[in-house]
Structure 1
Amino acid sequence: MKQFVKILPVAALAVAPMAANADTIFGVFAGGQYWDGNVDGSISAFDPQVRLGNYDDQSEAFSSYYVAVEHPIPLIPNFKARWNDMTVDGEGINPESDFSHVDYILYYEIFDNDIISIDLGVNAKRFDGNSSYIVADAAVTPVEFSGTVPMAYAATKIGLPFTSWWINAEASAVSFDDSDIRDISASVEYQFLDNAAIDASVSLGYRDMEVKLDDIDDTYSDIRFSGPYLSVDVHF
Protein backbone atom coordinates (compact mmCIF):
# COMPACT_ATOMS: atom_id res chain seq x y z
CA MET A 1 0.00 0.00 0.00
CA LYS A 2 2.96 2.35 -0.55
CA GLN A 3 0.90 4.03 -3.28
CA PHE A 4 -1.41 5.41 -0.60
CA VAL A 5 1.13 7.84 0.81
CA LYS A 6 1.46 9.51 -2.59
CA ILE A 7 -2.23 10.44 -2.79
CA LEU A 8 -3.56 13.46 -0.91
CA PRO A 9 -6.85 15.04 -1.95
CA VAL A 10 -6.45 18.58 -3.17
CA ALA A 11 -9.57 19.61 -1.29
CA ALA A 12 -7.99 18.60 1.99
CA LEU A 13 -4.89 20.68 1.30
CA ALA A 14 -7.08 23.67 0.55
CA VAL A 15 -8.32 23.95 4.13
CA ALA A 16 -7.12 27.37 5.27
CA PRO A 17 -5.95 27.60 8.88
CA MET A 18 -6.65 31.34 8.92
CA ALA A 19 -10.36 30.64 8.44
CA ALA A 20 -10.54 28.42 11.48
CA ASN A 21 -12.49 29.48 14.53
CA ALA A 22 -10.43 27.94 17.31
CA ASP A 23 -11.88 26.88 20.64
CA THR A 24 -11.73 29.58 23.30
CA ILE A 25 -10.59 26.97 25.85
CA PHE A 26 -8.49 23.83 25.79
CA GLY A 27 -10.72 20.74 25.56
CA VAL A 28 -10.21 16.97 25.66
CA PHE A 29 -12.80 14.63 24.13
CA ALA A 30 -13.00 10.85 24.45
CA GLY A 31 -15.50 8.16 23.59
CA GLY A 32 -16.22 4.57 22.66
CA GLN A 33 -18.43 2.98 20.03
CA TYR A 34 -20.07 -0.44 19.71
CA TRP A 35 -20.85 -1.19 16.07
CA ASP A 36 -23.28 -3.95 15.07
CA GLY A 37 -21.95 -4.33 11.55
CA ASN A 38 -22.79 -6.34 8.45
CA VAL A 39 -19.97 -7.40 6.13
CA ASP A 40 -20.63 -7.80 2.42
CA GLY A 41 -18.06 -8.40 -0.33
CA SER A 42 -14.79 -10.20 -0.87
CA ILE A 43 -11.02 -10.02 -0.40
CA SER A 44 -8.43 -11.69 -2.63
CA ALA A 45 -4.65 -11.77 -3.02
CA PHE A 46 -2.00 -12.23 -5.70
CA ASP A 47 -2.34 -12.36 -9.47
CA PRO A 48 -3.87 -14.67 -10.53
CA GLN A 49 -6.07 -13.92 -7.57
CA VAL A 50 -6.59 -16.29 -4.65
CA ARG A 51 -9.96 -15.73 -3.00
CA LEU A 52 -9.37 -15.22 0.74
CA GLY A 53 -12.90 -14.47 1.85
CA ASN A 54 -16.38 -14.05 0.46
CA TYR A 55 -18.95 -12.44 2.74
CA ASP A 56 -22.71 -12.13 2.20
CA ASP A 57 -24.30 -9.87 4.84
CA GLN A 58 -22.26 -11.55 7.55
CA SER A 59 -22.97 -10.14 11.01
CA GLU A 60 -19.99 -8.98 13.08
CA ALA A 61 -19.47 -6.92 16.25
CA PHE A 62 -16.92 -4.12 15.86
CA SER A 63 -15.69 -1.49 18.31
CA SER A 64 -13.78 1.77 18.24
CA TYR A 65 -12.63 4.43 20.67
CA TYR A 66 -11.09 7.85 20.26
CA VAL A 67 -9.35 10.77 21.93
CA ALA A 68 -9.44 14.32 20.56
CA VAL A 69 -7.74 17.54 21.65
CA GLU A 70 -8.98 21.02 20.75
CA HIS A 71 -7.19 24.25 21.62
CA PRO A 72 -7.38 28.04 21.11
CA ILE A 73 -4.35 28.39 18.77
CA PRO A 74 -5.75 29.21 15.27
CA LEU A 75 -2.75 28.18 13.12
CA ILE A 76 -2.34 24.73 14.68
CA PRO A 77 -4.94 22.07 13.77
CA ASN A 78 -6.90 20.13 16.32
CA PHE A 79 -6.08 16.44 16.62
CA LYS A 80 -8.17 13.28 16.88
CA ALA A 81 -7.05 9.64 17.00
CA ARG A 82 -9.55 6.80 16.61
CA TRP A 83 -8.74 3.11 16.98
CA ASN A 84 -11.03 0.72 15.07
CA ASP A 85 -11.18 -3.01 15.87
CA MET A 86 -12.58 -4.77 12.78
CA THR A 87 -11.84 -8.50 12.63
CA VAL A 88 -14.04 -10.63 10.37
CA ASP A 89 -14.44 -14.38 10.90
CA GLY A 90 -13.86 -16.37 7.74
CA GLU A 91 -15.25 -19.47 6.13
CA GLY A 92 -13.78 -22.21 3.98
CA ILE A 93 -10.12 -21.59 3.14
CA ASN A 94 -10.11 -18.20 4.91
CA PRO A 95 -9.83 -18.36 8.74
CA GLU A 96 -10.30 -14.59 9.23
CA SER A 97 -9.49 -11.13 7.88
CA ASP A 98 -8.43 -8.16 9.98
CA PHE A 99 -9.29 -4.66 8.73
CA SER A 100 -8.43 -2.98 12.03
CA HIS A 101 -6.90 0.46 11.61
CA VAL A 102 -6.23 3.84 13.25
CA ASP A 103 -7.54 7.21 12.07
CA TYR A 104 -5.13 10.10 12.67
CA ILE A 105 -7.17 13.25 12.00
CA LEU A 106 -5.96 16.86 11.79
CA TYR A 107 -8.79 19.37 11.46
CA TYR A 108 -9.82 23.00 11.80
CA GLU A 109 -13.09 24.30 13.19
CA ILE A 110 -14.11 26.63 10.39
CA PHE A 111 -17.39 27.41 12.17
CA ASP A 112 -18.36 26.82 15.77
CA ASN A 113 -21.14 28.13 17.99
CA ASP A 114 -23.86 26.80 20.29
CA ILE A 115 -26.03 25.66 17.35
CA ILE A 116 -23.70 24.42 14.62
CA SER A 117 -20.09 23.43 14.13
CA ILE A 118 -18.21 22.46 10.95
CA ASP A 119 -14.79 20.79 10.86
CA LEU A 120 -12.56 20.27 7.80
CA GLY A 121 -9.21 18.56 7.56
CA VAL A 122 -7.34 15.40 6.63
CA ASN A 123 -7.50 11.84 7.92
CA ALA A 124 -4.47 9.56 7.70
CA LYS A 125 -6.13 6.13 7.94
CA ARG A 126 -3.42 3.68 8.95
CA PHE A 127 -4.02 0.02 8.08
CA ASP A 128 -1.96 -2.83 9.51
CA GLY A 129 -4.30 -5.53 8.30
CA ASN A 130 -3.95 -9.17 7.45
CA SER A 131 -5.80 -12.12 6.03
CA SER A 132 -4.86 -15.75 5.43
CA TYR A 133 -5.79 -18.88 3.57
CA ILE A 134 -5.40 -22.61 4.18
CA VAL A 135 -3.38 -24.69 1.72
CA ALA A 136 -4.30 -28.37 1.30
CA ASP A 137 -6.44 -28.25 4.47
CA ALA A 138 -3.31 -27.88 6.55
CA ALA A 139 -0.90 -24.93 6.37
CA VAL A 140 -2.21 -21.44 7.07
CA THR A 141 -0.54 -18.86 4.81
CA PRO A 142 -0.73 -15.25 6.04
CA VAL A 143 -1.31 -12.29 3.72
CA GLU A 144 -0.51 -8.84 5.11
CA PHE A 145 -1.46 -5.42 3.79
CA SER A 146 -0.34 -2.20 5.44
CA GLY A 147 -0.02 1.46 4.67
CA THR A 148 -1.37 4.94 5.36
CA VAL A 149 -4.27 6.30 3.32
CA PRO A 150 -4.54 10.15 3.15
CA MET A 151 -8.23 11.10 3.02
CA ALA A 152 -10.28 14.27 2.99
CA TYR A 153 -12.18 14.74 6.28
CA ALA A 154 -15.32 16.66 7.22
CA ALA A 155 -17.66 16.68 10.22
CA THR A 156 -20.65 18.70 11.33
CA LYS A 157 -22.76 18.96 14.46
CA ILE A 158 -26.17 20.66 14.57
CA GLY A 159 -27.98 21.38 17.82
CA LEU A 160 -31.75 21.40 18.11
CA PRO A 161 -32.60 24.75 19.78
CA PHE A 162 -33.65 24.69 23.46
CA THR A 163 -33.03 20.92 23.75
CA SER A 164 -30.19 18.57 24.66
CA TRP A 165 -30.36 16.84 21.25
CA TRP A 166 -27.83 17.05 18.41
CA ILE A 167 -27.56 15.71 14.87
CA ASN A 168 -24.04 14.67 13.83
CA ALA A 169 -22.32 13.59 10.61
CA GLU A 170 -18.73 12.62 9.86
CA ALA A 171 -17.03 11.52 6.63
CA SER A 172 -13.62 10.54 5.29
CA ALA A 173 -13.08 9.62 1.63
CA VAL A 174 -10.46 9.16 -1.08
CA SER A 175 -10.43 7.79 -4.62
CA PHE A 176 -7.40 7.01 -6.81
CA ASP A 177 -6.69 4.67 -9.71
CA ASP A 178 -9.14 1.78 -9.21
CA SER A 179 -9.13 1.99 -5.41
CA ASP A 180 -11.79 3.76 -3.32
CA ILE A 181 -12.14 4.09 0.44
CA ARG A 182 -14.88 5.88 2.35
CA ASP A 183 -15.97 5.99 5.98
CA ILE A 184 -19.26 7.80 6.65
CA SER A 185 -21.44 8.01 9.76
CA ALA A 186 -24.48 9.92 10.99
CA SER A 187 -26.07 9.94 14.43
CA VAL A 188 -28.56 11.47 16.85
CA GLU A 189 -26.95 12.51 20.14
CA TYR A 190 -28.46 13.21 23.56
CA GLN A 191 -26.42 15.19 26.09
CA PHE A 192 -27.38 13.90 29.54
CA LEU A 193 -24.68 15.71 31.52
CA ASP A 194 -23.57 19.33 31.11
CA ASN A 195 -21.64 21.19 33.80
CA ALA A 196 -18.42 23.13 34.30
CA ALA A 197 -16.31 20.01 34.87
CA ILE A 198 -17.55 17.51 32.30
CA ASP A 199 -20.07 16.99 29.49
CA ALA A 200 -21.36 13.52 28.62
CA SER A 201 -23.66 12.23 25.90
CA VAL A 202 -24.92 9.06 24.24
CA SER A 203 -25.45 8.65 20.49
CA LEU A 204 -27.33 6.24 18.25
CA GLY A 205 -26.18 6.21 14.64
CA TYR A 206 -25.33 4.38 11.45
CA ARG A 207 -21.86 3.86 9.98
CA ASP A 208 -20.98 2.83 6.42
CA MET A 209 -17.40 1.98 5.43
CA GLU A 210 -16.30 0.70 2.02
CA VAL A 211 -12.79 -0.54 1.17
CA LYS A 212 -11.98 -1.17 -2.51
CA LEU A 213 -8.34 -2.07 -3.03
CA ASP A 214 -6.79 -2.82 -6.41
CA ASP A 215 -3.39 -4.51 -6.21
CA ILE A 216 -2.30 -2.90 -2.93
CA ASP A 217 0.45 -5.08 -1.45
CA ASP A 218 -0.90 -7.81 -3.78
CA THR A 219 -4.30 -7.43 -2.11
CA TYR A 220 -7.65 -6.92 -3.85
CA SER A 221 -10.88 -6.15 -2.02
CA ASP A 222 -14.39 -4.94 -2.64
CA ILE A 223 -15.89 -5.06 0.82
CA ARG A 224 -18.40 -3.02 2.76
CA PHE A 225 -19.00 -2.70 6.49
CA SER A 226 -22.29 -1.11 7.54
CA GLY A 227 -24.72 -1.09 10.42
CA PRO A 228 -26.03 0.76 13.49
CA TYR A 229 -23.85 1.78 16.42
CA LEU A 230 -24.14 3.05 19.98
CA SER A 231 -21.55 5.40 21.43
CA VAL A 232 -20.77 7.27 24.63
CA ASP A 233 -18.76 10.50 24.56
CA VAL A 234 -17.30 12.76 27.26
CA HIS A 235 -15.78 16.24 27.11
CA PHE A 236 -13.45 17.47 29.83
Structure 2
Amino acid sequence: MKKTLLACALFSSFTGLSAQASTLLGFKAGVDYWRADTSGTLGSNGSSQQGFDYSDGSQGSIWFAFEHPVPIIPNVKIRENRLVSDGSTSSANFTFDGVDYTGSADTRTDLSNTDFILYYELLDNDIVSLDVGGAYKKMHGSIRVSNSTSSSKTGVNSGIVMGYVDAMASLPGFGLYGFTNVMVGVNESNVYDYSLGLGWKIEGLALDYNLRVGYREFMFDVNDFSDVTTDLKSSGYFAGLEVVF
Protein backbone atom coordinates (compact mmCIF):
# COMPACT_ATOMS: atom_id res chain seq x y z
CA MET A 1 0.00 0.00 0.00
CA LYS A 2 2.80 2.39 0.93
CA LYS A 3 4.62 1.54 -2.30
CA THR A 4 1.47 2.24 -4.28
CA LEU A 5 0.98 5.62 -2.57
CA LEU A 6 4.64 6.49 -3.14
CA ALA A 7 4.40 5.56 -6.79
CA CYS A 8 1.27 7.66 -7.19
CA ALA A 9 2.95 10.61 -5.47
CA LEU A 10 6.03 10.37 -7.67
CA PHE A 11 3.87 10.10 -10.77
CA SER A 12 1.81 13.13 -9.72
CA SER A 13 4.97 15.13 -9.01
CA PHE A 14 6.47 14.20 -12.36
CA THR A 15 3.23 15.07 -14.13
CA GLY A 16 3.09 18.43 -12.36
CA LEU A 17 6.68 19.27 -13.26
CA SER A 18 6.10 18.24 -16.86
CA ALA A 19 3.03 20.44 -17.10
CA GLN A 20 4.92 23.36 -15.57
CA ALA A 21 7.85 22.88 -17.94
CA SER A 22 5.53 22.76 -20.92
CA THR A 23 4.12 26.16 -19.96
CA LEU A 24 7.58 27.64 -19.52
CA LEU A 25 9.11 26.24 -22.69
CA GLY A 26 8.14 28.27 -25.72
CA PHE A 27 8.79 28.56 -29.40
CA LYS A 28 7.92 31.55 -31.59
CA ALA A 29 8.15 32.02 -35.34
CA GLY A 30 7.15 35.01 -37.43
CA VAL A 31 7.40 36.93 -40.66
CA ASP A 32 7.18 40.65 -41.50
CA TYR A 33 6.56 42.41 -44.80
CA TRP A 34 8.35 45.77 -44.78
CA ARG A 35 7.87 48.55 -47.34
CA ALA A 36 11.07 50.57 -46.91
CA ASP A 37 12.36 53.79 -48.40
CA THR A 38 16.18 54.05 -48.58
CA SER A 39 18.23 57.24 -48.59
CA GLY A 40 21.82 58.32 -47.97
CA THR A 41 25.26 58.24 -49.55
CA LEU A 42 27.92 55.64 -50.17
CA GLY A 43 31.53 55.40 -51.27
CA SER A 44 34.81 53.57 -50.85
CA ASN A 45 37.21 54.43 -48.07
CA GLY A 46 39.09 57.65 -48.68
CA SER A 47 36.82 58.73 -51.53
CA SER A 48 33.97 61.22 -51.64
CA GLN A 49 30.43 60.08 -50.88
CA GLN A 50 27.78 59.85 -53.58
CA GLY A 51 24.04 60.12 -53.11
CA PHE A 52 21.52 58.10 -55.14
CA ASP A 53 17.78 58.30 -55.67
CA TYR A 54 16.44 54.99 -54.35
CA SER A 55 13.09 53.50 -55.25
CA ASP A 56 10.86 52.09 -52.50
CA GLY A 57 11.48 48.40 -52.04
CA SER A 58 9.62 45.39 -50.67
CA GLN A 59 11.73 44.01 -47.83
CA GLY A 60 11.07 41.38 -45.21
CA SER A 61 12.14 39.51 -42.10
CA ILE A 62 11.61 36.00 -40.85
CA TRP A 63 12.54 34.78 -37.36
CA PHE A 64 12.20 32.13 -34.72
CA ALA A 65 12.86 32.20 -30.97
CA PHE A 66 13.24 29.54 -28.30
CA GLU A 67 12.51 30.32 -24.64
CA HIS A 68 13.13 28.03 -21.66
CA PRO A 69 12.94 28.10 -17.83
CA VAL A 70 16.67 27.79 -17.01
CA PRO A 71 17.60 31.14 -15.37
CA ILE A 72 21.31 31.44 -16.21
CA ILE A 73 21.04 30.33 -19.84
CA PRO A 74 19.79 33.03 -22.24
CA ASN A 75 16.92 32.56 -24.64
CA VAL A 76 17.73 32.46 -28.34
CA LYS A 77 16.29 34.35 -31.29
CA ILE A 78 17.50 34.28 -34.90
CA ARG A 79 16.12 36.77 -37.41
CA GLU A 80 16.89 36.92 -41.12
CA ASN A 81 16.46 40.38 -42.73
CA ARG A 82 16.30 40.99 -46.47
CA LEU A 83 17.16 44.57 -47.45
CA VAL A 84 17.89 45.22 -51.14
CA SER A 85 17.49 48.66 -52.77
CA ASP A 86 18.08 49.95 -56.30
CA GLY A 87 19.16 53.54 -56.92
CA SER A 88 20.34 55.81 -59.68
CA THR A 89 21.87 59.24 -60.26
CA SER A 90 22.54 61.45 -63.27
CA SER A 91 25.32 63.43 -61.60
CA ALA A 92 27.81 60.90 -60.24
CA ASN A 93 31.27 62.16 -59.36
CA PHE A 94 33.02 59.68 -57.08
CA THR A 95 35.25 56.63 -56.94
CA PHE A 96 33.98 53.23 -55.85
CA ASP A 97 36.15 50.15 -55.51
CA GLY A 98 38.87 51.80 -57.59
CA VAL A 99 36.57 52.81 -60.46
CA ASP A 100 35.82 56.46 -61.26
CA TYR A 101 32.17 57.26 -61.99
CA THR A 102 30.88 60.45 -63.59
CA GLY A 103 27.49 61.30 -65.06
CA SER A 104 24.83 58.62 -64.90
CA ALA A 105 25.30 55.64 -62.60
CA ASP A 106 23.19 52.95 -60.97
CA THR A 107 23.57 51.02 -57.74
CA ARG A 108 22.16 47.91 -56.12
CA THR A 109 22.66 48.10 -52.38
CA ASP A 110 22.18 44.82 -50.55
CA LEU A 111 22.35 45.26 -46.76
CA SER A 112 20.73 41.92 -45.94
CA ASN A 113 21.76 40.52 -42.58
CA THR A 114 21.12 37.91 -39.92
CA ASP A 115 20.56 38.73 -36.23
CA PHE A 116 21.80 36.23 -33.65
CA ILE A 117 20.22 37.31 -30.36
CA LEU A 118 20.71 36.07 -26.80
CA TYR A 119 18.35 37.57 -24.22
CA TYR A 120 16.84 37.24 -20.77
CA GLU A 121 13.21 37.77 -19.77
CA LEU A 122 13.27 40.36 -16.98
CA LEU A 123 9.47 40.73 -16.94
CA ASP A 124 6.81 38.42 -18.32
CA ASN A 125 3.19 38.85 -17.26
CA ASP A 126 -0.21 39.66 -18.77
CA ILE A 127 0.45 43.40 -18.77
CA VAL A 128 4.17 44.01 -19.34
CA SER A 129 7.05 42.00 -20.77
CA LEU A 130 10.70 43.05 -21.07
CA ASP A 131 13.57 41.19 -22.73
CA VAL A 132 17.16 42.45 -22.51
CA GLY A 133 20.30 40.99 -24.05
CA GLY A 134 22.89 41.21 -26.78
CA ALA A 135 23.02 40.48 -30.49
CA TYR A 136 25.42 39.92 -33.34
CA LYS A 137 24.22 41.32 -36.67
CA LYS A 138 26.05 39.44 -39.42
CA MET A 139 25.94 41.34 -42.69
CA HIS A 140 25.95 39.21 -45.83
CA GLY A 141 25.21 41.63 -48.64
CA SER A 142 27.07 43.71 -51.20
CA ILE A 143 27.10 47.09 -52.93
CA ARG A 144 27.35 47.28 -56.71
CA VAL A 145 27.81 50.44 -58.79
CA SER A 146 27.67 50.49 -62.58
CA ASN A 147 27.27 52.68 -65.64
CA SER A 148 27.34 52.07 -69.39
CA THR A 149 31.07 51.24 -69.42
CA SER A 150 32.07 50.04 -65.94
CA SER A 151 30.88 47.99 -63.00
CA SER A 152 32.29 47.38 -59.53
CA LYS A 153 31.08 45.40 -56.55
CA THR A 154 32.14 45.17 -52.91
CA GLY A 155 30.91 42.62 -50.39
CA VAL A 156 29.45 43.86 -47.10
CA ASN A 157 30.07 40.87 -44.87
CA SER A 158 31.43 41.99 -41.49
CA GLY A 159 29.52 41.75 -38.21
CA ILE A 160 28.26 44.21 -35.59
CA VAL A 161 27.91 43.59 -31.84
CA MET A 162 24.68 45.19 -30.60
CA GLY A 163 22.63 45.70 -27.47
CA TYR A 164 19.08 44.35 -27.57
CA VAL A 165 15.81 45.37 -25.85
CA ASP A 166 12.31 44.09 -26.59
CA ALA A 167 9.33 45.48 -24.63
CA MET A 168 5.58 44.98 -24.79
CA ALA A 169 2.62 46.48 -22.91
CA SER A 170 -0.79 44.80 -23.17
CA LEU A 171 -4.38 45.82 -22.55
CA PRO A 172 -5.81 42.85 -20.58
CA GLY A 173 -9.02 41.35 -21.88
CA PHE A 174 -8.83 42.93 -25.33
CA GLY A 175 -5.83 41.21 -26.90
CA LEU A 176 -4.32 44.55 -27.90
CA TYR A 177 -0.72 45.46 -27.14
CA GLY A 178 2.01 47.92 -28.04
CA PHE A 179 5.58 46.84 -28.64
CA THR A 180 9.06 48.09 -29.42
CA ASN A 181 12.23 46.29 -30.44
CA VAL A 182 15.58 48.11 -30.34
CA MET A 183 19.09 47.08 -31.39
CA VAL A 184 21.99 49.53 -31.02
CA GLY A 185 25.55 48.94 -32.22
CA VAL A 186 28.34 48.59 -29.69
CA ASN A 187 31.42 48.41 -31.92
CA GLU A 188 29.58 50.49 -34.58
CA SER A 189 27.77 53.09 -32.48
CA ASN A 190 26.01 54.75 -35.45
CA VAL A 191 24.23 51.55 -36.48
CA TYR A 192 20.76 50.87 -35.10
CA ASP A 193 17.70 48.83 -35.98
CA TYR A 194 14.42 49.54 -34.23
CA SER A 195 10.71 48.96 -34.69
CA LEU A 196 7.57 49.99 -32.83
CA GLY A 197 3.93 49.27 -33.37
CA LEU A 198 0.65 47.71 -32.31
CA GLY A 199 -0.46 44.12 -32.20
CA TRP A 200 -3.50 41.97 -31.68
CA LYS A 201 -3.23 38.60 -29.95
CA ILE A 202 -5.54 35.80 -31.05
CA GLU A 203 -5.61 32.82 -28.69
CA GLY A 204 -6.18 29.42 -30.24
CA LEU A 205 -6.58 25.92 -28.85
CA ALA A 206 -3.00 24.86 -29.62
CA LEU A 207 -1.33 28.02 -30.95
CA ASP A 208 -1.51 31.75 -30.32
CA TYR A 209 -1.28 34.27 -33.17
CA ASN A 210 -0.01 37.84 -33.02
CA LEU A 211 -0.97 40.20 -35.83
CA ARG A 212 1.47 43.13 -35.97
CA VAL A 213 1.69 46.49 -37.73
CA GLY A 214 4.24 49.23 -37.16
CA TYR A 215 7.20 51.28 -38.28
CA ARG A 216 10.80 50.10 -38.64
CA GLU A 217 14.05 51.99 -39.24
CA PHE A 218 17.52 50.63 -39.95
CA MET A 219 20.45 53.06 -39.90
CA PHE A 220 23.74 51.82 -41.35
CA ASP A 221 26.22 54.64 -40.78
CA VAL A 222 29.72 53.13 -40.96
CA ASN A 223 33.25 54.12 -41.88
CA ASP A 224 35.69 51.57 -43.31
CA PHE A 225 33.27 48.69 -42.87
CA SER A 226 34.20 45.91 -45.33
CA ASP A 227 36.01 48.66 -47.31
CA VAL A 228 32.76 50.65 -47.54
CA THR A 229 31.82 54.02 -46.04
CA THR A 230 28.12 54.85 -46.06
CA ASP A 231 25.25 56.44 -44.12
CA LEU A 232 22.30 54.61 -45.63
CA LYS A 233 18.95 54.59 -43.84
CA SER A 234 15.97 52.37 -44.65
CA SER A 235 12.63 53.12 -43.02
CA GLY A 236 8.96 52.44 -43.53
CA TYR A 237 5.85 50.61 -42.35
CA PHE A 238 5.50 46.89 -41.91
CA ALA A 239 2.89 44.23 -41.23
CA GLY A 240 3.49 40.76 -39.93
CA LEU A 241 2.33 37.60 -38.21
CA GLU A 242 3.88 35.77 -35.27
CA VAL A 243 2.92 32.27 -34.18
CA VAL A 244 3.48 31.20 -30.55
CA PHE A 245 3.73 27.47 -29.88
Cα offset, 1:185, TM superposition: 0.5
Q: TM-score when scaled to structure 2?
A: 0.80
- Partners of 1:208 and 1:38 lie apart in 2 by 9
RMSD of aligned alpha carbons: 1.9
Shift in CA distance, 222/23, structure 1 to aligned 2, threshold 3 Å = farther
Flag the structure with higher helix content: 2
Q: Which of structure 1's runs of 4+ aligned residues deviate more than 4 A?
A: none
- Partners of 2:144 and 2:49 lie apart in 1 by 10
- The amino acid that maps onto 1:32 is V
Please say which of residues 182-191 and 91-100 is displaced more in the overlay: 91-100
Greater RCO (CA < 8 Å, at least 6 residues apart): 1
What SS does the corresponding residue of 1:94 show, helix, strand or coil? strand
What SS does the corresponding residue of 1:167 show, helix, strand or coil? strand
- Partners of 2:158 and 2:227 lie apart in 1 by 13
The within-5 A match list for 1:105-124 is: 105-124=117-136
Unaligned runs of 5+ in 1: 1-21
For residue 86 of structure 1, the aligned residue among 83, 94, 98 is: 83
- Partners of 2:40 and 2:186 lie apart in 1 by 18
Contact map agreement 1:35 1:230 (CA 8 A) in 2? yes
Length, aligned pairs only: 210
Contact map agreement 1:23 1:71 (CA 8 A) in 2? no
String of CA shifts for 1:45-69, please: whole Å, max 9, x gaps. 1322464x5236x411111110100
What SS does the corresponding residue of 1:90 show, helix, strand or coil? strand
The within-5 A match list for 1:1-236 is: 24-49=23-48, 51=50, 54-55=52-53, 58-91=55-88, 92-134=104-146, 137-174=148-185, 176=187, 180-192=190-202, 194-236=203-245
Query: What does residue 10 of structure 1 align with?
Result: none
String of CA shifts for 1:61-91, please: whole Å, max 9, x gaps. 1111101000111111000000011011122
Unaligned runs of 5+ in 2: 1-20, 89-103
Cα offset, 1:175, TM superposition: 5.2
Contact map agreement 2:45 2:223 (CA 8 A) in 1? no
Shift in CA distance, 79/175, structure 1 to aligned 2, threshold 3 Å = closer
Cα offset, 1:168, TM superposition: 0.6
- Partners of 2:74 and 2:139 lie apart in 1 by 23
Cα offset, 1:176, TM superposition: 4.9
Identity of aligned residues (%): 28
Contact map agreement 1:37 1:226 (CA 8 A) in 2? yes
Contact map agreement 2:139 2:158 (CA 8 A) in 1? yes
Contact map agreement 2:162 2:187 (CA 8 A) in 1? no
What SS does the corresponding residue of 1:75 show, helix, strand or coil? coil
What SS does the corresponding residue of 2:157 show, helix, strand or coil? strand
Contact map agreement 2:33 2:239 (CA 8 A) in 1? yes
String of CA shifts for 1:167-223, please: whole Å, max 9, x gaps. 11110002557x51011111100112x134100121110001111011112201111
- Answer with 1 or 2: which has the greater Rg: 2
